[in-house]
Chain A
Amino acid sequence: MSWIVARIEAAMALLLAVIWIAPLIFAFWAAFHDVSDAIAFDLAAPWTLENFRTAWDGAPWLRYFLNSFLLVTSVLIGQFVLCTLAGFAFAQIDLPYKDTLFLLVLLQLFILPEVLIVENYAIAARLGLLDTILGIGAPYMASAFGIFLMRQTFKSVPRELDEAARVEGYGTVGVLWRVYVPAARPTYLAYALVSVSTHWNNFLWPLIVTNSDTTRPLTVGLSIFAAPENGVDISVISAATIMVIAPLLIAFILFQRRFVQAFLRAGIK
């Protein structure tokens, strides 16, 4: 009796998996077929790269790729520097009002930059950051989540390593650089994966801050390209979509375990 239940459950699990992945597979298939064949579900229709050619010529994708790359890199560097310094201070240095301050920082976990778009736009305008890559990244650099993550990691570094380095004559920054940063390598990797995939995919704030092709990241470029006003057909939209998601998707499939581990580490701590 119970093996029947197990069989049925396995079948349902598989069915749900197929349903879950089907939209993506279908978009992939449509991207390589002529739109009339895609709409007609003609599985025997010939494969073509024409949609990719049309999509590629329809927007400055290379520029968008470069912008997205510059964006995720600058956000990551900013986050690493700011969160390392602050996380270290919160973890290892005695300061008056430290706990109150830390609680205040944690508050930012819930004050999402997405929600503060109106005032952040005004601030970016005042700082001359409108329509710049730095302007897209700046609100995310001092991430409360990153500070929290680094603090937890630095707290678990054995005190003896710290003292040994100080005996050797290193100052605060030297100890941070020689002892704490190397010890936190797995956390940095996890944080990098989460941060890169978040900002590669981010849309609303980049949409608001940018207004030219020289700064637009891929997501904003894709939304403009696929806007109904442009009248691009669905196969070409699929091709553009596949192009945009390919780098992250390939990285994910290659390093799947790492990705899942990274999201877990980032979420649970």
Chain B
Amino acid sequence: MTDTTASLHRMARRRQAIHGWLLLSPALIMLGTFAFYPSLATLWTSLWSRGTRRRPSEFVGLENYERLFSDPTFREVAMNNLLYAGVTIPVSIILALTMALWANAKIPARAFVRTAYFTPTVLPMIAAANIWLFFYTPGFGVLDQIGGLFGAPSVNWLGQPETALWAVCIVTIWKESGFFMIFYLAALQTIPEDLREAARIEGASRWTYLRRVVLPLLMPTTIFVLVNALINSVKLIDHLFILTKGGPSDASKLILYYIWESAFAFFDAPSAAAMTVLVLIVLGLGAALQFRVLDRRTHYR
């Protein structure tokens, strides 16, 4: 009797396992095909030389990486991307937090304010770039015309190396700040009103309350937003195709754009693969950060 229940039990378990694998397999096959296999293939490609018709590609170890690090264009592009991240991440986060604090306060026309902050988020990056093109165009662009009112000379914002990357950064900030705002807004709404009362009774100024109470409570949101902003600083490059195409003379070129260019314009797959591996390592570090923080959060609960 117990023997049969045990074997029935085993059978039921095995049936469950088969069901489970059947349910998982479509997703796992797709993930394998379009995420895991290509990641490994990229690593593999990055270790081989670029084959030509005369010379088949051969295993070269880390030579592609060495070539990459001695390539002045790559160095410039990497520096550009660091600046891009260094500007867009903090500015977007600070703006998002400011927007959220304002959109959460009792101010007139609050609905309009919230909509205005958030709307750029729903636009495609390509559309945002087209809209901003009108602002940056030298001579008759909006910025030049406003500058002209104050007697400023015409500036070719996108056409000169000193300003092109900054112009690109502004579009990114415009696009992502409102998105990050909603996470802060949601987090702010979970902070109980009594805390503010208590702080006021204690005689704390609004600034102290913000710094000592609100900001620490928003920390998990900040980490979440930070990781997303980091991902965006790699991913958001669509506007380059419209605004600058990476120019002038690579001044606004970012890594993902350079990967695209290396692979599909210069047909240099090995160096594109080597860059991809480096990007994946950076994203992996971001992932580790988020997992660690999330892990700690669940321990607190």
Min CB–CB distance A55 → chain B (angstroms): 11
A107 to B231, CA, bound (A): 14
A264 to B35, CA, bound (A): 26
User: Does A48 belong to the interface (CB within 8 Å)?
Assistant: no
The contact of A204 among B103, B183, B260, B279, by CB within 8 Å, is: B260
**Closest partner residue, chain B, to A96 (CB atom):** B17
Contact with B along A94-121 (1 / 0, CB 8 A): 1110100100111111111111111111
The contact of A118 among B36, B102, B115, B273, by CB within 8 Å, is: B273
Q: Could you say which residues of chain B place their CB within 8 Å of the CB of A10? A: 102, 105, 107-108
Assess the B183–A13 pair: CB atoms within 8 A.
Answer: no
Q: Could you say which residues of chain A place their CB within 8 Å of the CB of B118? A: 256, 260
B: residues with CB less than 8 A from A are 13, 16-17, 19-21, 23-24, 26-31, 33-39, 41-42, 45, 98-99, 102-103, 105, 107-109, 112-113, 115-127, 130-135, 137, 140, 142, 145, 174, 178-179, 182-183, 186, 206, 224, 228, 231, 234-235, 237-238, 241-242, 256, 259-260, 263-264, 269, 272-273, 276, 279-280, 283-284, 286-287, 291
Assess the B116–A17 pair: CB atoms within 8 A.
Answer: yes
The secondary structure that dominates the A interface is helix
A14 to B126, CA, bound (A): 27
Q: A20-B117, A204-B237, A222-B126 are in contact. List 5 more A-B contacts (CB 8 A).
A: A13-B99, A105-B31, A119-B273, A237-B134, A249-B122
Binds B, one of A56-64, A156-164, A181-189, A240-248: A240-248
The contact of A17 among B26, B36, B112, by CB within 8 Å, is: B112
Assess the B241–A223 pair: CB atoms within 8 A.
Answer: yes
Q: Could you say which residues of chain B place their CB within 8 Å of the CB of A85? A: 23-24, 26-27
Q: Could you say which residues of chain A place their CB within 8 Å of the CB of B287? A: 107, 109-110
Q: Could you say which residues of chain B place their CB within 8 Å of the CB of A24? A: 119-120, 123, 131
Min CB–CB distance A40 → chain B (angstroms): 8
Assess the A237–B133 pair: CB atoms within 8 A.
Answer: yes
A141 to B145, CA, bound (A): 46
Assess the B263–A118 pair: CB atoms within 8 A.
Answer: yes
Min CB–CB distance A138 → chain B (angstroms): 6
The contact of A142 among B26, B269, B276, by CB within 8 Å, is: B26
Q: Could you say which residues of chain B place their CB within 8 Å of the CB of A177? A: none
Assess the B273–A23 pair: CB atoms within 8 A.
Answer: no
Q: Could you say which residues of chain A place their CB within 8 Å of the CB of B19? A: 89, 93, 172
The contact of B30 among A82, A88, A90, A118, by CB within 8 Å, is: A82
A115 to B279, CA, bound (A): 8
A61 to B299, CA, bound (A): 52
User: Does A66 belong to the interface (CB within 8 Å)?
Assistant: no
Q: Could you say which residues of chain A place their CB within 8 Å of the CB of B26? A: 81-82, 85-86, 142
A24 to B34, CA, bound (A): 36
Contact with B along A225-263 (1 / 0, CB 8 A): 010000000100110110011001100110010011001
Assess the A27–B20 pair: CB atoms within 8 A.
Answer: no
A30 to B134, CA, bound (A): 10
User: Does A152 belong to the interface (CB within 8 Å)?
Assistant: no
Assess the B238–A123 pair: CB atoms within 8 A.
Answer: no
Assess the A115–B174 pair: CB atoms within 8 A.
Answer: no
Q: Could you say which residues of chain A place their CB within 8 Å of the CB of B140? A: 39
Assess the A203–B126 pair: CB atoms within 8 A.
Answer: yes
Assess the B113–A17 pair: CB atoms within 8 A.
Answer: yes
**Closest partner residue, chain A, to B224 (CB atom):** A267
Assess the A267–B183 pair: CB atoms within 8 A.
Answer: yes
Assess the B235–A114 pair: CB atoms within 8 A.
Answer: yes
Contact with B along A1-26 (1 / 0, CB 8 A): 00001100110111011101101101
Min CB–CB distance A172 → chain B (angstroms): 5
8 Å CB interface, A112-145 against B: 112-123, 138-139, 141-142, 144
The contact of B134 among A26, A110, A138, by CB within 8 Å, is: A26
User: Does A147 belong to the interface (CB within 8 Å)?
Assistant: yes
Assess the B119–A21 pair: CB atoms within 8 A.
Answer: yes
A120 to B112, CA, bound (A): 42
The contact of A244 among B115, B124, B142, B264, by CB within 8 Å, is: B124
